Structure 1
């Protein structure tokens, strides 16, 4: 009687699709890229000298779609992991982060309730923190540092260097700066303050020592 070393899951991957996870991931990335291109179909591409609002999202969509095609091709060429059970935590929080960004970056009204436009300075960190908790390993301090570092970069890139019409500040924030400051000066000052706060949070957390627990006995066994 002969025995086989292959598990049933591994044997099932010798069919046409050898890496089900790659196959599903590739289809999802291609679908996201197609959705992004469809949503930005009416926006102007512009040129490299004067970038339009559709240039960056379109090229990002092309990159995501290309990654999806690579994953899809690898699913037929190389053995990979089978699909596993997944929880709703990730999709719900990621979708929630996108909705929070869309609702807060510009004025939003839904029937009676309304949200004032808070701009990228609020919508960016909010989306990063909410989306970051999609993984159980996320820590609030790390997400705050990431949010206060990535948002200023986006502010300077889109609002200063590329001059894209993206709302950056809530209207109430403009009154905190001298009246003779330009919008770009206010943007740079706000970005600098956010970066300094991120650095302060980073160094404040380094002083805390984490207690390690040794679970091995003297014989070296766990």
Structure 2
């Protein structure tokens, strides 16, 4: 005897739009890509041999825009999820991370408020940690390890390999290293120290997490 599953699931969206969530996501990605292209309209793109400040954000914006177009197409041809209730937690923490990065990477002043430029060495981890709390499953330990791992990679990529004019560290940091070291040498040493700190934190805290004993009652009895 066969069992009928009709009516057991939620009804899918009706009409030409089969995935409202994909439609909303596609529109948002296209809008972000258009905003990025508009904001970088006056920047020099340069060439592959001599990259300008606009090359990376423009190519990323075009990739984001193409992803948005793909989501729009899937919204009409593939069954997907309906729009759910929005939460302000994600947008608040993501926007806060962007603002924290913007006001700390370079010197910032707003009226009587003035902040020194801390460079990517401080602005990167700060943005990663704040943005990570956009999800309620975020844990500070994991975010710190991610920040100490991803930031040195970005420092070496943008400051050393691509030679982009991005503030990497405050000038006061150079005084902690030998006077005859170049800025790239200080950059590489700082990136190595952060990567080693991430590895030490990972291995030092991993044993505490793996040694936990599950004492929950899984027998199903009340």
Task: Please give the range of the TM-score, normalised by the shorter of the 2 chains.
Answer: over 0.9
Partner of 1:213: 215
Give TM-score scaled by structure 1 length: 0.93
Looking at structure 1, the residues matched to 44 and 179 of structure 2 have their Cα atoms a distance apart, in angstroms, of 33
Whether contact under 8 Å (1:9, 1:82) holds in the other structure is: no
- The number of residues matched between the two structures is 217
Q: What is the RMSD computed on CA atoms of the aligned residues?
A: 1.8
Matches within 5 A, 1:133-212: 133-208=133-208, 209-212=211-214
Looking at structure 2, the residues matched to 86 and 215 of structure 1 have their Cα atoms a distance apart, in angstroms, of 35
1:138-179: CA deviation from partner (whole Å, max 9, x where unpaired) = 110100110001000000000000000000011211111111
Give TM-score scaled by structure 2 length: 0.93
Runs of 4+ in 1 over 2 A off after TM superposition: 4-11
Partner of 1:43: 43
Gap runs ≥5 in structure 1 = none
Matches within 5 A, 1:14-33: 14-33=14-33
Looking at structure 1, the residues matched to 123 and 147 of structure 2 have their Cα atoms a distance apart, in angstroms, of 10
Looking at structure 2, the residues matched to 155 and 124 of structure 1 have their Cα atoms a distance apart, in angstroms, of 9
Asked if 1:5 is matched to 2:6, the reply is yes
Gap runs ≥5 in structure 2 = none
Partner of 2:58: 58
